[in-house]
Structure 1
């Protein structure tokens, strides 16, 4: 399965054995109650209540007398701790603990029989309490109302440290959110009590909302209120002190007027009344550290044949609505769509029907996302119970009490890459594997193996081009923000091929209105993304058009004997030397192929020009980044590009077990050599259209293999069409290796006739043959005549001037 769920916590394994052990100890001591009042058959009452920002998990269970116990599991120490016991038969709605584990907030409902009044607070359905638990001390009633209440402590820091004031959010079913400020003090040593217990100060955070989501990791509150039937998404950012800011307002083209009241990530809500509300409606907000902001929305299911969901890429300024055909015919949909945050991707799935991986970082083309319909493997791997997406890549199965870390399954994706026949799936999986690659060297080796054996398998795009561009991009992407706007991440500009079973509609959306003007961290990156959507036209992504033009100018100047200042050319060649040195330093294994071992000034000029132009491009648009960092990024990027080409060739060379004798001309080509020649030709075609540099020595090896494998007329056609470039090294070796038989002489003459004049003059002296002497003589006479013409012109000019003076 493309999604791998790694269990990070399990109530059965991490809590239940401790509870049973506590019971044994308690029975041996002849005591009862406390945290030990649990029977072997009471596991059904054990459930997770909340996962706090520091990873601690709060759970609850009931003893044989109906008492409610609260426990905490510390994921760092893997230790359990009993927090508090309510000696009443209560149902827990919500619970949270502060970071110091001194205060417990709980919202409870009395389990009343028919005709029996609530003993906790007459006339109220839900009671919200604040309990001092270090040590167990006073209990303060915060709310006693007829509506449900949810509680959540703010965690300004992940680290554990003492705070003079705690902040608690209260979320009411009556559609308002309040923040309580709780001052604490220490008495009698470690005894922590509430300082302002008589009257807690509070702020009204939000009201009249229909939906709210809590982001524990980033301490953000998202909520939606309705203004003139429009859904307005708002976000409040909480800070280390008691301050908070309304960050933005964003209109959403969805209707929530008849969807009831919905909360996301305010604890682990399993209350049956909540399940009745907005059945099958799913709405959640996902962000990542690159400044992305996505709203995922799936309305109530109205069809048994297809399901529709939308993703609002607010950081890109558009939304995408997908309509997916259900994979299992005749199977009824009993649960809604689940969205999971996987950093650069969002997983969307309906167990037994479909599983989609949506590319959030680059959503422009549908082929960058993966769409799979249901199969037995998918049904077996994904839980059928709803999963709750928490901060980061954590997901919680409330029904089983398991906390998972959701990861993309690289081994599955690599197998899928080998087996799939659809171009769209090859494209999607290639990007997916590269973006999440742990151990990139080993991972790339497997992808390179696949690329080298499937170079002609894709019809909608060039596989080598896509691999070179995508892998080079992801190798430098994490180093700095905004690189995705400046470097190409795909060789494909448009995609018109249909995806089986998927219909896509893309629409522009209104950009959010930022309510603050000074940004830090995530908000600075989001604002940068929004500014790019507003003002970045034309496209700022780098391309090699300037390099192409300048390179052709330099080659033309070389042919005519004119060359601009040596300092300019030397600087370009120095850039190439830096790239090759950087490339060699990163490669720890000796190379099998004779690459990077000759001058090949043309390729070195191309490498150096690309370094120069790419540096200028990034320096122009990457504001606030050090020049040295940009220079190193450019070296790494181009070194990566050339290293990938070398590794593709090395993989093919090693597969066919070729050796150094291939470099000699006095032998016939084999099927193995033809395979290497074929892939080199494909690499040349791929790089030529993008105007990417090749490792020095590439053209020499390509020419040698071409002489081995091609008939003479085909070889000459390849040379004339530019697919084979004659280098001085290759032709020198050809002249030395081949004898003077009629066939060899014909080949030598055909090659010499096609050489540039400067190289031809050097090569002719290596061929001891009348034809070579004839060419040398002819060239010598030509030069003499040219010099004579120049001298004659100068003489005539001088005579003309002398005559005029007379």
Structure 2
């Protein structure tokens, strides 16, 4: 087992100038050691040639050098993060300044906090705590600042607490020092404490927060700790369901899904955390009252030893990414959306490459098979079992594009392992949506049965419809696939809960999607009352052609008969193309009608049928005679005869 030690070395470069360097030394069990890393520090230290860091509390050094000494801490984490935390005693009683250099990111942040009160200020030094994924700056009685060390770029991912929210149990107005990860020393009593983020307190803070920045920071902090609390994910989903409308600057559904995927998948590979998206936000313009922040670019550390393992290998990956990072290192769905729309258009026009599409749908099959193996218990949500080709196309395309993105940066990962990573990612995405839907079903106590369309929906069903609309909006915003049967269930709730004009408005604007499964059930459940006929007719006229041909066979009505006849003529004439026709066959006419255009059309269709081009062979009653009869009936209806 090896240990690391950090020290700061001060080198004189002139009479009034000096240069400070952080040196990290690795000690081994055989008593050997190596200088592994050097990093220049742009901070001002007291006149010492050597300062040991994180070696505990030195009472004599603290008392003898209190006017000159600085508070300096170096923190590492298992993810490869390396942070230098630095502060001095405040020059102005009303404010405190501290800096954190994220050496693995190549920049530092300096924070200046305006204190709410200064009369009872006993402890003037900011204490820095190592909480693994977070570094905390703590001034007892005033504030607790949790900084996300993996993603410190946006202030909204760091939690700044004041008042009662900033208190640490058993540690109040006392001087403390971080000895090692999650361990604190009370400098007055000499006692050691283990410190960690309390999940229950964090969830209470989320529920009580009124500001988006606090909600967002608490959400990310909670997701970090999902692995240590089994029911924490369910609590977060319940919070999301109650806070869909209050959040104005971010979508809690999008943020939950993206961040949850990030923390689910990152243990798979040490580099996935640098390649997978961790947020749905591109920028954040908000400010935190009472705290000012400046960001400075710093020099990157220099590794003195190559081919290091463990922590140093992960740190080196961070540094390489900072040096050679592409503008879009993290995966995003912009290209996915364009390619998906392109494939949908090609598939509708029959122009898609068969082999490519086959591979895409095979990717989707793997995702759905993977998802089925995870869902051993019976689902509460009555998702219709159907093949949604559009969503399967999006699933398979997402697998392909995510794989291409990861392979560019993880060339050392084998093909089989990479295939499993990307399939797991998309499967986890769908699983998260299913878990959200399960929570919605439990919250409103809906039955796990397939409802019928001959009854109106309840208030609970309308609430579920609204939540499903928000999930759909979140998925569309990030071009994420939806679970199989989502659109049919959403449409079914819409039919039950919405008035007709609102339902049609939602369909026309793409909020509701007409699926064959749901429309078939609708036409079977509803009788032909005047109200239901109006609904059916409105839906038939909006169906895609491929689905419309199938649905019209279920409804024995003049409208659908007319639709079938028109479509039959269209398909026959398309099949005819430029074929040379023979002479008309008037004896095929069932009734002689003195209407030459109809006579000519009927004889033409009869001849095409004789050539074996009938597109409706499985429907014996659909032929030229059927078209003739429908044309006469429709004409008579228009003339009022």
TM-score (norm 2): 0.86
Structure 1 residue 423, shift from structure 2 partner: 0.6
Asked if the contact 2:94/2:117 (under 8 Å) is kept, the reply is no
Aligned to 1:686: 474
Q: Note the C-alpha offset of 1:788.
A: 3.2
Structure-2 residue corresponding to 1:593? 381
Aligned position for 1:463: 252
Matches of 1:615 and 1:457, distance apart in 2: 36
Give the corresponding residue for 1:496.
285
- Provide the secondary structure at the position in 1 that maps to 2:129: strand
Tell whether 2:527 aligns with 1:739. Answer: yes
TM alignment of 1:355-366, pairs within 5 A: 355-366=144-155
1:695-706 correspondence to structure 2 within 5 Å:
695-706=483-494
8 Å Cα contact 2:62-2:69 kept in structure 1: no
Partner of 1:751: 539
- The aligned residue for residue 630 of structure 1 is 418
Q: How does 1:587-736 map to 2 (within 5 A)?
A: 587-595=375-383, 597-660=385-448, 663-736=451-524
| 1:48 counterpart residue number | none
Structure 2 vs 1, CA of residues 741 and 356 (structure 1 numbering), >3 Å: closer, same or farther?
A: same
User: Does the 8 Å contact 2:81/2:104 carry over to 1?
Assistant: yes
Matches within 5 A, 1:426-505: 426-439=215-228, 441-505=230-294
**In the alignment, does 2:6 pair up with 1:221?**
yes
Q: Is 1:243 aligned with 2:28?
A: no
| 1:50-75 deviation per Cα after TM superposition (whole angstroms, max 9, x unaligned) | xxxxxxxxxxxxxxxxxxxxxxxxxx
Q: Distance in 1 between matches of 2:46 and 2:566?
A: 91
The equivalent of 1:577 in structure 2 is 365
Give the length in aligned residue pairs: 579
More moved, 606-615 vs 488-497? 606-615
Specify which of 183, 192, 196 is matched with residue 403 of structure 1. Answer: 192
Residues 293 and 526, structure 1, Cα contact 8 Å, conserved in 2? yes
The match for 1:388 is 177
Cα distance, 1:456 vs structure 2: 1.4
Deviation at 1:322, TM superposition (A): 0.9
- Contact 1:327–1:354 (CA under 8 A) maintained in structure 2: no
Distance 1:363 1:430 in 2: 15
Deviation (angstroms), 1:575? 2.0
Q: What does 1:163-182 align with in structure 2 at a 5 Å threshold?
A: none
Contact 1:342/1:393 (CA < 8 Å) preserved in 2?
Answer: yes
What are the equivalent positions in structure 2 for 1:83-232 lying under 5 Å apart?
157=1, 218-228=3-13, 229-232=18-21
Give how far 1:398 is off. 3.8
Is the Cα–Cα contact under 8 Å of residues 317 and 509 in structure 1 kept in the other structure?
yes
In the superposition, the TM-score normalised over structure 1's length comes to 0.69
Distance 1:717 1:773, change over 3 A: same
Which runs of 5 or more structure 2 residues have no equivalent in the other structure? 583-641
Alpha-carbon distance between aligned partners in 1 of 2:408 and 2:384, rounded to the nearest angstrom:
31
1:789 Cα deviation from its structure 2 partner:
3.8
Say which of 331, 338, 342 aligns to 1:542: 331
Structure 1: runs of 5+ lacking an equivalent:
1-156, 158-216, 795-806
Trace 1:277-292 onto structure 2 (pairs within 5 A): 277-278=66-67, 281-292=70-81
**Alpha-carbon distance between aligned partners in 1 of 2:268 and 2:551, rounded to the nearest angstrom:** 48
Once the 2 structures are TM-superposed, how far is the Cα of residue 377 of structure 1 from its aligned partner?
A: 7.2
486-495 or 657-666: which moved more?
657-666
- Tell me the distance in 2 between the aligned counterparts of 1:699 and 1:513: 54
What SS class does the counterpart of residue 511 from structure 1 fall into? coil
Residue 401 of structure 1 aligns to a residue in which SS? coil
- Per the TM alignment, residue 261 of structure 1 is displaced from its structure 2 partner at its CA by 7.2
- Classify 1:279/1:255 alpha carbon distance in 2 versus 1 (closer, same or farther; 3 Å): closer
Taking a change above 3 Å as real, the CA distance of residues 279 and 328 of structure 1, as seen in their structure-2 partners, is: farther
Equivalent in the alignment of 1:369: 158
Give, in whole Å, the separation in 1 of the partners of 2:38 and 2:49. Answer: 21
8 Å contact kept, 2:46–2:69: no
- SS state of the match for residue 271, structure 1? helix
Q: Deviations over 1:690-714 (max 9, x none)?
A: 1000001000011111112222222
Contact kept in structure 2, 1:259 and 1:278, CA below 8 Å: no
**Structure 1: distance between partners of 2:177 and 2:46:** 24
| SS of the residue 2:434 aligns to | helix
Judge which range, 317-326 or 275-284, deviates more: 275-284
297, 316, 319: which one aligns with 2:108: 319
Contact 2:23 2:38 in 1 (8 A): yes
Distance 1:481 1:375 in 2: 37
1:784 paired to 2:569: no
In 2, the alpha carbon distance for the partners of 1:338 and 1:280 equals 14
CA contact (8 A) 1:596 1:695 kept: no
For the residue of structure 2 that corresponds to 1:663, the secondary structure is coil
Distance 1:508 1:616, change over 3 A: same
Alpha-carbon RMSD across the aligned residues, in angstroms, is 2.3
CA shift digits 1:294-353 (9 cap, x unpaired): 100112211221111110011101111111122445332433100010111011111100
Once the two structures are TM-superposed, the CA of residue 443 in structure 1 deviates from its matched residue by: 1.1
Q: Which of 319, 325, 340 lines up with 2:129 in the alignment?
A: 340
> Aligned to 1:519, what secondary structure does the other structure show?
coil
CA distance, structure 2, for counterparts of residue 439 and residue 263 of structure 1: 34
Structure with max Cα Rg: 1
Note if contact 2:399-2:423 (Cα within 8 Å) is conserved in structure 1: yes
Aligned-partner SS, 1:438: helix
Determine if the alignment matches structure 1 residue 559 to structure 2 residue 371: no
* CA apart distance, 1:356: 0.9
Distance in 1 (CA, whole Å) between partners of 2:164 and 2:170 is: 10
What's the offset of the Cα at 1:660? Answer: 4.7
- Cα distance, 1:642 vs. partner? 1.0
Query: Are the equivalent residues in 2 in contact too, given 1:674–1:709 (CA < 8 A)?
Result: yes
Q: State the Cα distance separating 1:497 from its structure 2 match.
A: 0.8
Are the structure 2 counterparts of residues 787 and 632 from structure 1 closer, same or farther at C-alpha, using a change threshold of 3 Å? closer
CA distances 1:652-702 after superposition (whole Å, capped 9, x unpaired): 111111125663111112211111111111111111111000001000011
Q: Indicate the residue corresponding to 1:24 in structure 2.
A: none
SS at match of 2:273: helix
Instruction: Indicate conservation of the 8 Å contact 1:280/1:336, yes or no.
Output: no
| Alpha-carbon separation, structure 1, partners of 2:578 and 2:471 | 46
Give the number of the structure with larger relative contact order, counting CA–CA contacts within 8 Å between residues 6 or more apart.
2
Tell me, yes or no, if the aligned pair for 1:248 and 1:512 is still in contact at 8 Å. Answer: yes
Counterpart of 1:768 in structure 2 is 556
Q: Alpha carbons of 1:732 and 1:278: their partners in 2 closer, same or farther (altered >3 Å)?
A: farther
> Closer, same or farther in 2 for the Cα pair 1:376/1:494, shift >3 Å?
closer
